[in-house]
Amino acid sequence: MEKVKHSTIFVNGINMHVAEIGEGPAILFLHGFPDLWYSWRHQMLSLSSRGYRCIAPDMRGYGDTDAPPSASSYTVFHIVGDLIALLDALGLDQVFLVGHDWGAFMAWYFCLFRPDRIRALVNTSVVFNPRNPSRKPLESLRAAFGDDYYMCRFQEPGEAEEEFARVDTATLIKSFLTFQTPGPLRVPKQVGIIASLQAPTILPSWLSEADINYYATKFNQKGFTGGLNYYRALDLTWELTAPWTGSQIKVPVKFVVGDKDVTYTTPGVKDYVHSGAFKRVVPFLEEVVVMEGVSHFLNQQKPEEISALIYDFIQRF
């Protein structure tokens, strides 16, 4: 990892930490929660060796990037604005885009707002859900899964942070990264977030103590509020994206998900992906790959396979 270059770039009013390696056509990697640029370490090394310039920022609110305190600073417009400014600062007209979790959510909107900047998209774990003009996201989530659904439990400022603080950060990160229970993820107040996640006694082979310590060091410095603010901005994003109701994602897309991913096993998602409904809102969806026995953090659990899936798609363009 010593070959990875690190820099801080001023974008859209914040200082963003960016990791980069390689030369050639550019790939922009977007991480999710609770994650860092570091989650893409395997793909960056693999694809840079194949002739690509690999760029992975710590997203707004994470790691060594600034974390504005207010949830209202974490809409899709703020995040996509950060990324457009990053491309401009790096002198890049177009990139291949790769996203996971909240990074995937933001990648969909990047392609919706600025398809001219994207050569092709490989998105993982999180499907594109078209905007429902009649109901806000949190209202829909509560109706479907109840108040204990994790996205609903993350809404109250300070509440999840207080629960997270009751356990050491390394244990919390282990719990998140190795979570495999099929969705939807519910965290009842009487049980608590930590007990609902259950940290493993032994790390899986794809995750080392050094990895956990890297995460823990960064989250001890930054805290979790920035990452949680993505969830807290959901309804505001819904309000602001009204003009894009009914719009389609019109870039070439490959979608990859694990069959044990909490997102894929949430009721209704499998049918949405395979019934043709997903393809109707993402008309240039060229491939859907469902990885057997793989859970949410697929880019770390199956690093070589994910690198190959990305390469196989983007080398066509």
**Bridge-based pairing state of the strands 95-100 and 26-30:** parallel
Q: Which residue reads 């823990």 in tokens?
A: 216
Collapse the DSSP code of 248 into the 3-class scheme (helix H, G, I; strand E, B; otherwise coil) and give the result: coil
Task: Specify the residue for token string 């859907």.
Answer: 288
296 is a catalytic site residue: yes
Dist CA 18 CA 209 (whole Å): 23
- Structural Rg of the chain based on CA atoms: 18
Q: Is 101 a catalytic residue?
A: yes
**Catalytic one of 62, 215, 231, 264:** 231
Burial 162-194 (b: 16+ CB within 10 A, else e): ebbeebebbebbbbbbbbbeebbbbbeeeeebb
List the strands of the sheet with 53-57, edge to edge: 5-11, 14-21, 53-57, 26-30, 95-100, 118-124, 253-258, 285-291
Tokens matching residue 188: 């009842």
User: Quick count: other Cβ atoms within 10 Å of Cβ 29?
Assistant: 27
Check if the beta carbon of residue 174 is closer than 8 Å to that of residue 212: yes
Among the listed residues 82, 101, 211, 261, the single catalytic one is 101
Among 253, 241, 244, 171, residue whose Cα is nearest residue 212: 171
CB of 35 closer than 8 Å to CB of 24:
no
The catalytic residue positions are: 101, 231, 296
